Structure 1
């Protein structure tokens, strides 16, 4: 499997604005934000799609969601509201072959397709 852009960011081969990191998870600011707050939260282990997840990954997914809620509080958007999105494969809008969660906030969000 070829390294994803997120794996290259984890390895510090590509620069990015890292806002959170621990031994299993990293969060960065999206380079093409769709709202004033738009972060990407992903595991350091490269898993290409959410279809590949098993019950063995449940703690990892939990950490991603909990990291998102911590970031929402840290950036003062938890009370007003935010959106978490995970895309899967081409028709689902996934553009990077590495699972990730979008935290989008900072304005009133619409549901558009």
Structure 2
């Protein structure tokens, strides 16, 4: 098991886990770029969006529901937040385990 996110999911590496169930785990990003910066990952290793198949749909749906729940718990649901998934080198994916960034707590810059 070389993937750091797989290790966090399994409890074999440090991560400030805020949510975990049978499909997904959410934890704080160790290099936050916003006051609230969480990562939401499927528990099963999926390298990127390019590796998603139909069997992954329950976990992907759960990731969005957990994002909504955590945004409310962090007090950013009303003011707004950003969800982002980076894919591949050019997309800025640093860890090759599919993950969703939940960013908020300040006004986000426009993309583009």
Say which SS state the counterpart of residue 51 (structure 1) adopts.
helix
Q: C-alpha deviations, 1:54-77, integer Å up to 9, x for none?
A: 222211110001100000011110
Query: Unmatched 5+ residue regions in structure 2?
Result: none
The corresponding residue for 1:77 is 76
TM-score norm. by structure 1 comes to 0.94
Matched with 1:15 is 14
Who is 1:63 aligned against? 62
Q: Secondary structure at the match of 1:92?
A: coil
How far is 1:111 from its partner?
2.8
Q: Which residue of 1 aligns with 2:24?
A: 25
Tell me, in whole angstroms, the C-alpha distance in 1 between the residues paired with 2:69 and 2:25.
13
Structure 2 residue matching 1:90: 3-state secondary structure = coil
Alignment match, 2:41: 42
Where 1:46 maps in the other structure, the secondary structure is coil
Number of the residue aligned with 2:97: 98
1:6 corresponds to which residue? Answer: 5
3-state SS of paired residue (2:90): helix
Partner Cα separation in structure 1 for residue 59 and residue 10 of structure 2: 19
Considering only aligned residues, what root-mean-square deviation do their CA atoms show, in Å?
1.2
Deviations, residues 21-75 of structure 1 (Å, cap 9, x unaligned): 1111100000110100000000110000101112222111100011000000111
**Distance of 1:63 and 1:87 partners within structure 2:** 18
- Structure 1, unmatched stretches of 5+, are none
SS at match of 2:11: coil
